[in-house]
Structure 1
Amino acid sequence: MAALKQLPATTAAIEVGKELTDLWPLHDHVQIDNDVKYAESFQVRVTRQFAIALTGEDVTMPDAEYVYEGADEIPGRPQTLVDALLNANDAYDTSVDFSEDGDAERIVESASQLGDVWDDDTVAAARELIAAAAAEGSALTADDLPGRYALGAAAFAQMLALTAGDDEETALKAALPAVLYFNEFDEWLGVPRVFLELDTVKQLREIAVAGPDDGGAAKFIDVLAEPAATEWRKHREDVLWDPAEAKKKAREEDEAKSKAALAAKFAHVKDDPGKETVEL
């Protein structure tokens, strides 16, 4: 962990992360509401990715939003897809409490809710890993964001390395609880969550399974840094979003487009020096 926190990719990501974490604690009611909406959107995005991995179906954002809002069926959509979204939301909701109490059983239960994607050996190893990582995390100081980020990444890599599968599809399903663990452990550490596309999860898992030797740890940090920074910028922008200012900007943009369209419409009309100038 001491080595990982010194890597350039860690430093670059933390610079972006600090711009987000420096906003807290939030006091403005608009920003607080924005953060709640961000958290809801984050869950929808994650559960959509999980459902794609679990079914191989083309799960859409409207599908994921509909189920998140309480639907247990979607007209015209396969029930297997809906069931996968329901299971993904159950697993997500179960894992969220881990950031509060650090109970490894939250993650184990999440894995079960995703369809028993972990075997007994993986469950036993995961429990040991979670306990060890929590002990390390408890020793870190509150202002050591690079150290906490590095520990979260290292624990994620170790958890991914535990996942097994006879084929890529099975291995990806086994990696899903590790993604939940990573984000909730980061939350427990005071590090913002990171949204990961399935292709990125696959890439990270391959690096983790190969092991930390020969630059594997640095490769893992390099791959993780980009989605982390991207998500943290998005989170910050979402929190700081001002609906009144956004409405004003949209109105100004509409007016500018209307003026441009009107000017283009009459661009072919030649000027008459004898006519009074009219401002469009």
Structure 2
Amino acid sequence: MSNTAWISSAAALEQQPSFAAAVEAGRTLTGMWPLHDHMHIDNDVKYAESFQVRITRQFALALTGEDVTVPDAEYVYEGADEIPGRPQNIVDALLAANDAYDESADFSDDGDATHLIEAAHLLGDVWNDATEEAVRALTEQVAESAGQLASDDLEDRYALTAAAFADVLATVSEHASDEAAAVKAALPVVLYFKELNERFGVPIIGIAADELEQFRAIAVAGPDAQDDGKSGAERFGELLNPLAEAEWKKRHDDILWDPVEAKKKAREEDEAKSKAALAAKFAHIKDDPSKEKVEL
């Protein structure tokens, strides 16, 4: 039977100021849905592409331990299977990460853990049989918990997906053979969190490799574990909520981005800087009251 200590404590995740701030940002974003403006739709597609590049780069960093650059991740996302001058193991890790990312996508539609298990295989068989069995059981329990939600509020849905993220992190860590295996076993859980959010109408959240390790450590200790006067639930929320708020504000701003307005604003800023620089250059010259005033 899988561990659901975090799901049982989901309400504790809501009792923080940072949770309320994140939800407010989430509501502002989801209030725009469904998108109808073509520019907004195109911008959101670009956001999704950029999100995949960010996540797959983080996966490759964790899988190789090498310096994987953003251009590396972009080239592979765009279809490259080799990059001149770059180690092939980095490219292979990025290819595997993109395959796993794509494979997990159907989980948001049908909730079938097979997609997650296959993603784990694509990342290098980072889950063993016991992990796969535990993840299957836990995803079913999460689905049951979702069906019992008293409301459809974003607060409840976000608290549930965050708690489920923690429970699955703890579960895969418990079944890993050692610490190094546990680090890699956590990677598919990022995809699970993303797709679970999609399934429940919660905006997706990007998790970096170093952040994932912090989440995993807190998740393994449990929601009630005390550290420096704070419970695990408090520390998990303090780590996740600011990430969620920043991600959701970024997506909101990315959707509304207007290239024409951005170009106009940049031109105005350049003109203002030029005027300020010119004024500073001649600041030492005293005004001659007999001369006509000229606007810079």
* TM above 0.5: yes
Q: Secondary structure at the match of 1:163?
A: helix
1:205 aligns to 2:181 (yes or no): no
Question: Aligned residue for 1:194?
Answer: 205
How has the CA–CA distance of structure 1 residues 104 and 166 changed in structure 2, closer, same or farther, with 3 Å as cutoff? closer
Cα RMSD, aligned residues only: 1.7
Q: Secondary structure at the match of 1:273?
A: coil
CA deviation digits over 1:175-223, x for unaligned, max 9? Answer: 0001110110011010000011222111110011112223223322222
* Paired amino acid for 2:128: D
2:235 to 219, 226, 233: 219
What is the CA distance between 1:103 and its match in structure 2? 1.3
Distance of 1:92 and 1:173 partners within structure 2: 15
Single out whichever of 18-27 and 156-165 deviates more from structure 2.
Answer: 156-165
Identity over aligned pairs, percent: 64
Q: Aligned ranges for residues 78-117 of structure 1 at < 5 Å? A: 78-117=87-126
Distance of 2:243 and 2:192 partners within structure 1: 17
* Paired amino acid for 1:197: A
Question: Aligned residue for 2:147?
Answer: 138
Single out whichever of 136-145 and 108-117 deviates more from structure 2.
Answer: 136-145
Distance of 2:51 and 2:132 partners within structure 1: 26
Q: Aligned ranges for residues 234-273 of structure 1 at < 5 Å? A: 234-273=250-289
Question: Aligned residue for 1:14?
Answer: 23
Distance of 1:169 and 1:271 partners within structure 2: 71
Confirm or deny: 8 A CA contact 1:5 1:11 kept in the other structure: no
TM normalised by structure 2 equals 0.90
What are the ranges of 5 or more consecutive residues in structure 1 without an aligned counterpart? none
Distance of 1:94 and 1:141 partners within structure 2: 32
Question: Aligned residue for 2:172?
Answer: 163
* Paired amino acid for 1:233: K
TM normalised by structure 1 equals 0.94
Distance of 2:150 and 2:112 partners within structure 1: 21
Distance of 1:16 and 1:198 partners within structure 2: 24
What is the aligned residue count? 280
How has the CA–CA distance of structure 1 residues 168 and 278 changed in structure 2, closer, same or farther, with 3 Å as cutoff? farther
Distance of 2:278 and 2:30 partners within structure 1: 46
* Paired amino acid for 2:282: F
What are the ranges of 5 or more consecutive residues in structure 2 without an aligned counterpart? 1-6, 226-230
Distance of 1:22 and 1:46 partners within structure 2: 25
